[in-house]
């Protein structure tokens, strides 16, 4: 079955903030085998980030290849995903349907720090 990948369009005002440091993505918890990119063989990492847009914030996990991780990624720093895609998924596990959306980016770059709005009198 073909996998549907949807490019994620973002508003110019959308901001992201790192919620966790990058951690290697585990393919098989029983063996500890790490997940790798199918095309390049590169190790994949996940990061929890907070998307902030139009007065709301949402937590999301983004998978990124190791070469796409900027130096200095740590919780609280502003980040910008490059080539962000969403992949809907569903599976049956013990007779229960699980579903969700997996997010993948080519890179997570450091973004300019959020600036406080100037107050004019």
pTM of the predicted model, to two decimals? 0.83
Does an H or E element contain 15, and which? strand 15-18
Mean pLDDT by 10 residues, the chain (121 residues): 80 92 94 93 96 92 96 94 94 88 95 55 42
The gap between the terminal CA atoms of the chain, to the nearest Å, is 61
What single string gives the DSSP state of each residue in 37-97?
A: -TTT-PBEEEEEEEEEETTEEEEEEEEEEGGGBPTT--TT-EEEEES-EEEEEEEEETTEE
| pLDDT number for residue 37 | 93
pLDDT of the residue at 2: 55
Q: How many CA atoms lie within 13 A of 67 on its CB side?
A: 6
């Amino acid at each position: 079955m073909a996998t549907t990948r949807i490019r994620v369009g973002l508003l110019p005002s959308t901001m992201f903030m790192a919620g966790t440091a990058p951690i290697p993505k585990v393919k098989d918890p029983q063996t500890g085998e790490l997940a790798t990119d199918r095309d390049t063989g590169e190790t994949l990492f996940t990061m929890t980030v907070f998307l902030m847009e139009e007065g709301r914030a949402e937590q999301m996990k983004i998978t990124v290849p190791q070469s796409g991780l900027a130096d200095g990624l740590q919780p609280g720093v502003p980040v910008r995903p490059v080539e962000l895609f969403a992949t809907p998924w569903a599976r049956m596990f013990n007779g229960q349907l699980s579903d969700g959306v997996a997010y993948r980016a080519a890179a997570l770059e450091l973004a300019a720090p959020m600036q406080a709005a100037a107050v004019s009198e």
